[in-house]
Amino acid sequence: MRLRITFSKSGALRYTGHLDLHKIWERTVRRADLPLVYSQGFHPQPKMQLASALPLGFLGRAEVMDIWLDVQPGNPPLQYKNLLQQAAPPGLTILEVEEVDTRLPALQTQVDSADYEVVLLDPVDRQALSQSLSALLNTACLERQRRGKTYDLRPLIESLSLLPEDASGAQRIAMRLSAREGATGRPEEVLGALGIPFESTRIERTRLILKSELK
């Protein structure tokens, strides 16, 4: 059976890397006493797929992963949600569990784009920030460097807008960036294009949009 799990990653877990998060999930499923399916071969690996790696230090409001269990289909998803939450470490919150077709493509290939919310920790003039966002969106090409190669960031920015201030009065930016294989926009690159230091922000990925949701 293939289960799709939507979860949030917060607190100290924001500093957990992609590979370590895989290990945390494997331990969580084992503690929940659920029978994971393993790959064949000399080094069997648990059959688990995270939709998209979350950069170190980012919060994740609605991350997505698939796990395969050696059980018959048909058990109530709520049963698995409760078992997993009881076994999960602090900072890992199970939001939803649903059974999906085992024949669906790999989860990583199904991600189309991602929503982010960026909180600016330093005071910024709201009008000037709004003008900067508009100017960036009206730019035809945004050349950036990644791993020594030049690329155009602009086509990877699907939307960019100013959100209402948070409870503390901090400015917030909403971004929707392409997250397709070979065409991934990064919030820190957008911030760089805006002249905003990455270190003076708090970034949360609020949603992963799958191709199936666009139909």
pLDDT of 15-32, one tens digit each?
999 999 999 999 999 999
| Same-domain status, 169 and 81 | no
> Which of these ranges, 5-9, 141-145, 152-156, 192-196, has the smallest mean pLDDT?
141-145
Q: In the listed set 104, 133, 167, which residue is the last one of a domain according to the structure?
A: 104
Contact residues for 207 (Cβ-Cβ < 8 A; gap 6+): 61, 62, 114, 115
Let me know: does 96 contact 84? Beta carbons within 8 Å: no
| Same-domain status, 47 and 62 | yes
Dihedral, 16, 18, 22, 24 alpha carbons, nearest 10: 0
What is the extent of the structural domain holding 133?
A: 110-214
| Same-domain status, 61 and 126 | no
pLDDT in tens, 88-131: 999 999 999 999 999 999 999 999 999 999 999 999 999 999 99
The residue among 72, 90, 51 whose CA lies nearest residue 2 is 72
Helix (H) or strand (E) holding 37: none
Does the structure show a pLDDT above 90 at 52? Answer: yes
| Same-domain status, 24 and 117 | no
Q: Which DSSP state fits 109?
A: G
Contact residues for 98 (Cβ-Cβ < 8 A; gap 6+): 3, 4, 77
- Residue 157 CA to residue 176 CA, distance in Å, equals 6
Q: In the listed set 56, 75, 104, which residue is the last one of a domain according to the structure?
A: 104
CA angle 185, 14, 173 (to 5 degrees): 45
| Same-domain status, 91 and 10 | yes
- In Å, how far are 58, 95, 179, 209 from 111, measured between CA atoms? 18, 19, 6, 6
Which CATH number goes with the domain that contains 148? 3.30.70
| Same-domain status, 154 and 94 | no
Which CATH number goes with the domain that contains 16? 3.30.70.580
- Residue 130 CA to residue 187 CA, distance in Å, equals 17
Let me know: does 103 contact 41? Beta carbons within 8 Å: no
For residue 182, the model assigns a pLDDT of 78
| Same-domain status, 152 and 206 | yes
What average pLDDT score do residues 192-205 get?
Answer: 95
Does the structure show a pLDDT above 90 at 148? Answer: no
pTM for the model stands at 0.93
| Same-domain status, 129 and 176 | yes
For residue 208, the model assigns a pLDDT of 97
| Same-domain status, 177 and 95 | no
| Same-domain status, 98 and 133 | no
Q: What is the count of structural domains for the chain?
A: 2
